[in-house]
Amino acid sequence: MNRREEPLTYASSGVDIGAGDRAVEMIKAHVASTLRPEVVGSIGGFGGLFSIGDLAGRNSLLVASTDGVGTKSVVAGQMGKYDTIGIDLVAMSVDDVATCGADPLFFLDYISVGKVVPEHIDSVVAGVARGCREAGCALIGGEISEHPGLMNETEFDLVGFAVGLVDRDQVLPRDVRAGDRIVGLASPGLRSNGYSLARQAFARADISLNEPAWKGAHHSLGEELLTPSVIYAPALSHLREHVSVHAFVHVTGGGIAGNLVRALPPHCDGVVTRGRFPEPRIFSIVQKAGNISDDEMEQVFNLGLGMLVVVAAGDLHKTLDTVRASGHEAWEVGEIVVGHGKAQVVRS
């Protein structure tokens, strides 16, 4: 029998159902660790069930968001380190939900791979579960999809989906006005944005991810780039209980100004000043490696601020104290002024 006459199977076509089943068995404990009382049923059904009967009021709204981790997954694959990328995945979506004034309820993930390696899937979902526990949301479902011919065996991509709940009269942003202050919450790294530029910068400079992150560092550049994204949602929820927040701004793709503008009314501008907050060393390393302009850095990276909070001037100090008590570094980084709905980053 020649090769063309051999009967085809799904496995010989590159899809290993058995490996997928083994991966599902391995992740069940991670999923169970995130469950809330509102979760109905268990993993393996056609859909995830979540009861909102005791949570929702007549004016409650569901808030949904979806996002991925960009090419940070490439760095994870190159480093063979899969245990924290799931935290990034959760952070991207639950913090988007939280910017609307909502509390995250549940999360779903989609993992596409060139080849299912159960141990890698287990590590990824362990990170997703950890992120869900930090955010206080349940992981109620997901999908593992093997794509031979579309992706190389070592390639993978992640997409997350988060749903939260907010009362209609508490939806943010609201009441943003000239004179408000902007508080920035620290991000120790790139979160999940700008990795295509960072990877190209290091490749062009012939800098290996296995080199020390900087002179004297005891960890590699790749490990530094895989610093997990901070999950701000619990701190934002706590802050809303103590301060009348006017807006939250999740600093992701587009940088500080590109995201701040989304929270501004037509009659206001937002100004954030570099120099009012420390910028983690990784940003200057990326900039030097790629000979990247300041303008480009500001348009792509968070520069050390992962979340912005807009509050009345009278609430500034209480906001700083409350956020810091939640375990986050925070600074007054800017203000809202009379303008035309534009945002900018200026240098002190």
Query: Which CATH number covers residue 220?
Result: 3.90.650.10
Domain end point (choices 140, 170, 200): 170
Distance of CA 159 to the CA centre of its chain: 11
Provide the pLDDT for residue 1: 52
The whole-number pLDDT of residue 41 equals: 83
Domain with 332 in it: 181-347
Query: Which pLDDT band, with edges at 50, 70 and 90, does 96 fall under?
Result: very high
Predicted confidence band of residue 12 (pLDDT cuts 50, 70, 90): confident
10 & 141 share domain: yes
Q: Is the pLDDT confidence value at 56 over 90?
A: no
Helix 118-135 / helix 17-32 crossing angle, nearest 10 deg = 20
CA distance 99 to 92: 11
Chain segment 155-173, per-residue pLDDT in tens:
999 999 999 999 999 999 9
Same domain, 156 and 227: no
Mean pLDDT of the chain: 96
What local confidence, expressed as pLDDT, does residue 57 receive?
83
pLDDT digits (tens, 9 = 90+) for 284-309: 999 999 999 999 999 999 999 999 99
Q: What is the pLDDT of residue 46?
A: 87
Does residue 42 sit in the same domain as residue 102?
Answer: yes
In a domain, residue 160? The reply is: yes
Q: Is residue 176 part of a domain?
A: no
Helix (H) / strand (E) element for 195: namely helix 195-204
Confidence at residue 348, expressed as pLDDT on a 0 to 100 scale: 84
| pTM for the full predicted model | 0.95
Across 323-331, average pLDDT: 98
Residues 155 and 96 in one domain: yes
282 has a pLDDT exceeding 90:
yes
pLDDT at 280: 98
Answer yes or no: do 285 and 334 share one domain.
yes
What value does the mean pLDDT take over residues 191-216? 97
* Residue indicated by tokens 């809330």: 36
- Measure the CA dihedral 337/340/343/348, to 10°: -50
What is the count of structural domains for the chain? 2
Same-domain status, 282 and 185: yes
Helix, strand, or coil here: 67?
strand
Residues 53 and 150 occupy one common structural domain: yes
Lowest mean pLDDT among 28-42, 134-148, 325-339: 28-42
One domain, residues 229 and 314:
yes
Same-domain pairing of 65 and 97: yes
Q: What is the pLDDT of residue 3?
A: 63
